[in-house]
């Protein structure tokens, strides 16, 4: 995959895209690791969830959103959505003149490094699991078995702001028991919504299963790529995060963003 970059302004923001609020976990992890970096977060809340849509449709929506971020002026694109990443994995690298980071590769690398018995579990949206892109990346490395489970209800719970309680634990038990029975020792949370449910997930799988989350691993990759390309922002200033969403209910998005990021958010721009 080619990546060609003109001279990029290091003070430009990082563009983070997701189908909804799940990618806020990635934005939060990037902010924590790179406090000097400005961020534009774009959530396609009018058309989420992506996980139940055909891949062709997801590709169309994703490229439209990424095109918009590039037009606004960013120095990097972060596809903070597993379903979108599966749909535009190759297109994004070929299409844009800024570096692109997606959530799949860094997460798989971490899971393979952590597993002890070679049995890795994956929970993700229906589209992500059906695409088998995680299977392909694991197969390249060899020596591991990937056991996948679609977990669409998790996305609905997070989008509704429900991240703990009996309902979440019941859903987690239903999704995760087949993976526990398969003797996994590592579990990939293959959707950026899922880190918000780590409490219930950890309770269900127990302390001996390593959890690999898209947010932390993607933020690590963002740091690595920016540093390699000498694009880290040298200015020392408080982080500036701008929020954009396609849905009408920007109030709910704002409330969730404030809760999830722990920031006071002045406004969410509807596009």
Inter-residue contact 33 to 82 (CB < 8 Å) = no
Q: Are residues 39 and 84 in the same domain?
A: yes
Are 220 and 98 found together in one domain?
yes
Closest CA to 45 of 168, 206, 188, 193: 193
CB proximity list for 117: less than 8 A, separation 6 or greater: 183, 185
Q: What is the pTM of this model?
A: 0.90
Catalytic residue numbers, as ranges: 81, 191
Name the E strands within the chain. Answer: 14-18, 39-43, 76-79, 100-102, 119-124, 145-150, 186-190, 210-213, 241-245, 269-270
| Shared-domain flag, residues 19 and 58 | yes
In a domain, 4, yes or no: no
Q: Considering the domain boundaries, does residue 246 fall inside one?
A: yes
Helix (H) or strand (E) holding 141: helix 133-141
What is the rounded CA–CA span in Å between residue 87 and residue 105?
14
Residue 3: its pLDDT value, please?
54
Domain end position, chosen among 173, 198, 213: 213
Specify the number of domains making up the chain: 2
* Distance in angstroms between the alpha carbons of the first and the last residue of the chain: 31
Which domain does 91 fall in, by range?
14-103+216-270
Domain boundary among 198, 213, 228: 213
**Alpha-carbon distance 198 to 176, whole Å?**
12
CATH code for position 205 = 3.40.50.1860
Compute mean pLDDT per 10 residues along the chain, 271 residues long, and list them.
69 95 90 94 93 93 97 97 91 94 94 96 94 91 91 90 94 98 97 91 97 93 96 83 92 83 82 91
Tokens of residue 79, six digits:
């596809």
In this predicted structure, what is the pLDDT of residue 1?
45
In a domain, 53, yes or no: yes
For residues 113 and 187, membership in a common domain is answered with yes
Instruction: Write down the pLDDT at residue 4.
Output: 58
One domain, residues 161 and 136:
yes
Specify the pLDDT at position 6: 63
CB 16 within 8 Å of CB 72: no
Together in a domain, 203 and 227: no
Same domain (yes/no): 113, 205: yes
């Amino acid at each position: 995959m080619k990546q060609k970059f003109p001279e990029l302004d290091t003070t430009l923001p990082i563009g983070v895209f997701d189908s909804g609020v799940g990618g806020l976990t990635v934005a939060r992890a990037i902010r924590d690791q790179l406090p000097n970096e400005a961020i534009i977060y774009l959530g396609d809340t009018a058309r989420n969830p992506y996980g139940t849509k055909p891949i062709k449709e997801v590709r169309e929506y994703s490229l439209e959103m990424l095109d918009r971020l590039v037009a606004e002026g960013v120095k990097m694109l972060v596809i903070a959505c597993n379903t979108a990443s599966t749909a535009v994995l190759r297109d994004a690298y070929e299409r844009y003149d800024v570096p692109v980071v997606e959530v799949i590769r860094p997460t798989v690398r971490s899971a393979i490094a952590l597993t002890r018995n070679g049995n890795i579990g994956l929970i993700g949206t229906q589209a992500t699991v059906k695409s088998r892109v995680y299977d392909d990346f694991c197969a390249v490395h060899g020596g591991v078995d990937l056991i996948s489970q679609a977990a669409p209800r998790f996305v609905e719970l997070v989008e509704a702001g429900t991240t703990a309680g009996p309902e979440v634990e019941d859903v987690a038990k239903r999704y995760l028991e087949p993976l526990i029975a398969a003797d996994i020792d590592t579990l990939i949370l293959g959707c950026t919504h899922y880190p918000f449910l780590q409490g219930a997930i950890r309770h269900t799988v127990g302390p001996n299963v390593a959890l690999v989350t898209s947010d932390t691993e993607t933020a690590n990759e963002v740091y690595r790529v920016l540093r390699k390309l000498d694009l880290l922002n040298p200015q020392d200033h408080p982080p500036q995060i701008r929020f954009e969403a396609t849905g009408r209910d920007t109030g709910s998005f704002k409330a969730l963003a404030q809760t999830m990021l722990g920031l006071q958010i002045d406004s969410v721009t509807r596009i």
